[in-house]
């Protein structure tokens, strides 16, 4: 009498190759019910087909073998669902990262010489309501969201005098960890919880606007950095970002507008006529080629 389904028959029924079935046997993932002691032939039963099909689907989703074993070993449907859901979430994160990389690469490969509008601004000293912290790159988004939520709760829209903003130390870009500061300009700053009254010094900035989602904001960083090194004297200091329109204002990423400010040193202002007509110092010149890309603040 036949001992069961041969490995060839089982491969046909499950769409798992003979080579794959042998590997799953060796790893203990899917063990034949019988192995002939004299021939070494493997035999399976029809009852193993559902497990083989589950394994096939999970491996199509790139679930690691160790996690496949965990999923098959548990009899708790909720635990099994949690394990699969966790992997699907990782897949979604990977797909999003891939999409963002594609968007950024397309921007980098553009051969147009579209002018990069750059404003030279003199920002006066001011007191703001701020939260500061030394943050690692992997924790940036979580820290930013929590800090902004705390600021939003403490200072309703009626108390704010402008859009939220942030300052990012160079070490965050160069060493993967550095000081982050997020703040609201408000009528009367006050300290509460992690929020402090922070006196920001006057600063000269070269400012451009990144329009749209933050997937390729590093490209705008690179273009602005290239512009500043060519047209101005750069100085040490944190990069400034102002979230003129962001996720809190609209769920349409194409409408987001983020101002990026690069610290510079200026000996003279622009002509009085230009300053009077614009209300601020403005200089617009064609962008130079990309110098480098900076880490992206994907809010």
| Per-residue pLDDT, 111 | 60
**Boundary-marking domain end, from 41, 73, 105:** 73
Indicate if 277 and 214 belong to the same structural domain: yes
Residue 98: inside a domain, yes or no?
A: no
Residue 110: inside a domain, yes or no?
A: no
Indicate if 126 and 213 belong to the same structural domain: yes
d(CA 44, CA 34) in angstroms, rounded, equals 7
Q: Do 184 and 164 form a contact (C-beta atoms < 8 A)?
A: yes
Indicate if 133 and 280 belong to the same structural domain: yes
CATH number of the structural domain spanning residue 156: 3.20.80.10
| Per-residue pLDDT, 286 | 37
| Per-residue pLDDT, 112 | 60
Residue 156: inside a domain, yes or no?
A: yes
Residue 150: inside a domain, yes or no?
A: yes
Scanning the structure block, which residue is given the tokens 């921007």?
Answer: 107
Indicate if 59 and 136 belong to the same structural domain: no
- 160 HSE (CA, 13 A, CB side): 15
Q: Do 172 and 139 form a contact (C-beta atoms < 8 A)?
A: no
Residue 97: inside a domain, yes or no?
A: no
Name residues of the chain where pLDDT drops below 50. 1, 271-299
CATH number of the structural domain spanning residue 40: 1.10.1660.10
d(CA 141, CA 4) in angstroms, rounded, equals 55
**Boundary-marking domain end, from 49, 73, 97:** 73
Indicate if 201 and 130 belong to the same structural domain: yes
Longest dimension (CA), the chain: 102
| Per-residue pLDDT, 3 | 64
Indicate if 159 and 221 belong to the same structural domain: yes
d(CA 92, CA 113) in angstroms, rounded, equals 35
- Give 209's strand partners: 259
Indicate if 39 and 167 belong to the same structural domain: no
Question: Which tokens in the block code for residue 87?
Answer: 């992997």
| Per-residue pLDDT, 269 | 55
Question: Which tokens in the block code for residue 175?
Answer: 């060493």
Residue 293: inside a domain, yes or no?
A: no
Strand pairing category for 126-136 and 177-184? antiparallel
- The arrangement of strands across the sheet holding 42-44 comes to 5-6, 42-44, 34-35
CA distances for 83 relative to 31, 93, 185, 252, 254, angstroms: 22, 16, 44, 32, 35
Strand pairing category for 116-123 and 283-285? antiparallel
Residue 233: inside a domain, yes or no?
A: yes
Residue 88: inside a domain, yes or no?
A: no
Indicate if 191 and 258 belong to the same structural domain: yes
| Per-residue pLDDT, 18 | 93
Indicate if 267 and 128 belong to the same structural domain: yes
Reported as a single tens digit per residue, the pLDDT across 177-210 is 999 999 999 999 999 999 999 999 999 999 999 9
What is the number of domains present in the chain? 2
Average model confidence (pLDDT) across the chain: 84
- Residue 58 lies in domain: 5-73
Indicate if 247 and 160 belong to the same structural domain: yes
**Boundary-marking domain end, from 14, 49, 73:** 73
DSSP state of 17: -
Query: Rounded to two decimals, what is the model's pTM?
Result: 0.62
Indicate if 166 and 249 belong to the same structural domain: yes
Indicate if 16 and 142 belong to the same structural domain: no
Q: Do 178 and 135 form a contact (C-beta atoms < 8 A)?
A: yes
| Per-residue pLDDT, 292 | 36
């Amino acid at each position: 009498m036949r001992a069961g389904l041969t490995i060839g028959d089982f491969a046909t029924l499950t769409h798992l190759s003979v080579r794959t079935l042998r590997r799953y046997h060796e790893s203990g993932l899917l063990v034949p019910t019988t192995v002939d002691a004299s021939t070494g032939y493997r035999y399976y039963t029809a009852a193993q087909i559902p497990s083989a099909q589950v394994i096939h689907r999970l491996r199509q989703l790139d679930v690691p073998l160790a996690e496949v074993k965990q999923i098959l070993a548990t009899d708790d449907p909720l635990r099994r669902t949690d394990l699969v859901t966790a992997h699907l979430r990782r897949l979604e994160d990977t797909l999003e990262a891939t999409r963002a990389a594609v968007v950024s690469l397309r921007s980098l490969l553009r051969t147009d010489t579209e002018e990069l509008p750059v404003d030279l601004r003199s920002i006066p000293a001011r007191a703001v309501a701020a939260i500061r912290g030394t943050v690692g790159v992997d924790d940036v988004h979580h820290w930013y969201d929590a800090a902004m939520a705390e600021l939003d709760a403490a200072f309703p829209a009626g108390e704010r005098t402008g859009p939220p903003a942030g300052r990012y130390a160079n070490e965050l870009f160069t060493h993967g960890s550095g000081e982050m500061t997020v703040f609201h300009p408000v009528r009367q700053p006050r300290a509460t919880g992690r929020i402090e009254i922070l006196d920001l010094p006057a600063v000269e900035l070269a400012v451009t606007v990144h329009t749209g989602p933050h997937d390729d904001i590093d490209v705008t960083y690179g273009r602005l950095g290239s512009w500043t090194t060519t047209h101005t004297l750069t100085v040490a200091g944190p990069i400034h970002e102002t979230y003129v329109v962001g996720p809190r204002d609209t769920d349409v990423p194409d409408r987001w507008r983020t101002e990026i400010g690069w610290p510079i040193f200026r000996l003279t202002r622009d002509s009085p006529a230009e300053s009077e007509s614009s209300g601020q110092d403005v200089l617009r010149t064609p962008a130079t080629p990309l110098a480098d890309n900076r880490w992206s603040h994907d809010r």
